[in-house]
Amino acid sequence: MTYNSLILSIATFVYGLAAVFYIFAMVFRKETPGWIATWIMLTAWLGNTAGILLRWVESYYVSGGQGYAPFSNMYESMVFFGWTIAGIYLFVEYRYRNRTIGALAAPLACLALAYAALGEDKTIQPLIPALQSNWLIAHVITCFLGYAAFAVAFAVSIMYLSTSSSDLHRDRETTLRIPSAEVLDELTHQLGMFGFLFLTAGIITGAVWAKQAWTRYWSWDPKETWSLITWLIYAALLHFRMMRGWRGKRIALLSIIGFLAVLFTYFGVNYWLAGLHSYGSPS
């Protein structure tokens, strides 16, 4: 096991520990476990950061001095996915001074790294020619910032739908209060908008990269097609919100459907549909 894999494995367990403390704090309405959970989550995120940077450094030794950003395969992308989920969640917690969403967001970050550790090859390998481009960094970062925002929006939407109206307004004086229905609804919208902007940027950078690698901007590859479907779902969410005034359950349900489309775009296409993209199997 390389040093980066060891650090990332530890970060996985630390994310899991943060999830336990967030859930305990939310269920028992205790401030101290919630405060501890935040610091554990931050520690895990910093460990996640260190693991990504160390893997980047180690790639230079494997590639004969030509290192690359660690976004080139399923393992590395899942690690980055966990990092972006945790980072966006920590910002939301800081912005809204609320820890209850961590009970759902921390498990998502933990699951991303756990899936990477248990189900994917951790070996650092030289990049195939199609991936030897600076567009790799721009495309992956923008896409996964969008995906992570949708993941946190999914957690917020689950909380909205699973909590009664009375629960949504109690314990307002603490950081462990369940946010009001209005706050959860607005947060879903804001995260959806943030994710939509970055997914749009990801599709554009991917098209430019495709032109460079495969001589055409768009080929209706399964990954491209499902990325467009996902984009259309979130475009519909924003349209109905701003033009039709949709609120509450309808927006939460669209957010959940959108994230399911994200998961299929990321996992289903990679493993079940043949295409040009290499995360599931070599192209």
Give 33-44 pLDDT, tens digit per residue. 999 999 999 999
| pLDDT (0 to 100) of residue 120 | 72
- Taken as a whole, the chain contains a residue count of 283
254 pLDDT exceeds 50?
A: yes
| pLDDT band with cut points at 50, 70 and 90 for residue 283 | very low
Residues contacting 13, CB < 8 A, separation 6+: none
CA 129 from centre of chain: 27
Per the CB < 8 A criterion, the answer to whether 46 and 109 are in contact is: no
User: What values do phi and psi take at 26, rounded to 5?
Assistant: -70, -45
Mean pLDDT along residues 18-31: 93
Answer with the residue of higher pLDDT: 16 or 270. 16
CA distance linking residue 183 with residue 169, whole number of Å: 10
| pLDDT (0 to 100) of residue 273 | 65
3-state secondary structure 255-269: HHHHHHHHHHHHHHH
| pLDDT (0 to 100) of residue 65 | 67
CA 268 from centre of chain: 16
Mean pLDDT along residues 61-88: 88
3 pLDDT exceeds 50?
A: yes
Euclidean distance between the first and final Cα of the chain, in Å? Answer: 27
Which residue's entry shows tokens 């800081």? 94
Mean pLDDT along residues 70-86: 93
| Proportion of the chain above pLDDT 70, given as a percent | 90
129 pLDDT exceeds 50?
A: yes
Mean pLDDT along residues 15-42: 95
Mean pLDDT along residues 175-195: 89
166 pLDDT exceeds 50?
A: no
| pLDDT (0 to 100) of residue 282 | 34
Average pLDDT, whole number, for the chain? 88
Answer with the residue of higher pLDDT: 88 or 214. 88
Whole-prediction pTM value?
0.91
